[in-house]
Amino acid sequence: MPFEFTPERRAHLDDLLTHYPTKRAATLPALHLAQAQNGYISQDVMEHVAELLDLSPAQVQDVVTFYPMFFQEPVGKHIIRVCKTLPCMLCDCKKVLDHLRESLEVEVEGTTADGNFTLLEVECLAACDQAPVMMVDEDLYGNLTPEKIDEILGGITGKAAPAKAERRHGRG
């Protein structure tokens, strides 16, 4: 079935369109909304967004392929983003990635067999004071250790209580 926004998301998009003098400016917000609904940006999604914003599908695809946060293939239920940039490297983010690869039995850019997690290595997450860090969906977790990672993932899959990262604000 071709992609279509749910009425709530469509209303949200209509509201967003009032923020800009051109329809095209709503491309990124529209794609974020579509990805939240569909999980990834399929051909159908691009065509639908293009139609709503008076663009050609190629113009939308042009945008989708530029930004790493838009997925062009189906992904797992939860996205794990592990930061690998210098401050995290200095704090041994490789250990974090190795632990995730082993415990989830998945390679970078792969999805676990149960479809629960997709593992990604990403460039700077701008939380270098808490290095090494990862994001699971919309939540940031810092000062990671293998034990802490197990606890976080266990919480998400329902095996244990979720443990949020401590958020340190200038050490305060």
Give the residue, chosen from 34, 45, 52, 53, that forms a contact with other proteins under the rule CB under 8 A. 53
CA distance 120 to 66: 17
1 or 19: CB nearest other proteins: 19
Q: Residue 42: how many CB atoms within 10 A of its CB?
A: 18
- Of residues 107, 138, 147, 166, which one binds other proteins by CB under 8 A? 138
Answer yes or no whether residue 46 interacts with other proteins by CB under 8 A. Answer: no
Q: Which of 3, 17, 29, 37 binds other proteins (CB under 8 A)?
A: 29
- Tell me the C-alpha to C-alpha distance, in Å, between residue 85 and each of 92, 96, 157: 10, 13, 28
Residues that bind other proteins (CB under 8 A): 19, 21-22, 24-29, 31-32, 53, 62-63, 66-70, 81, 84-87, 89-91, 122-131, 135, 138-140, 167-172
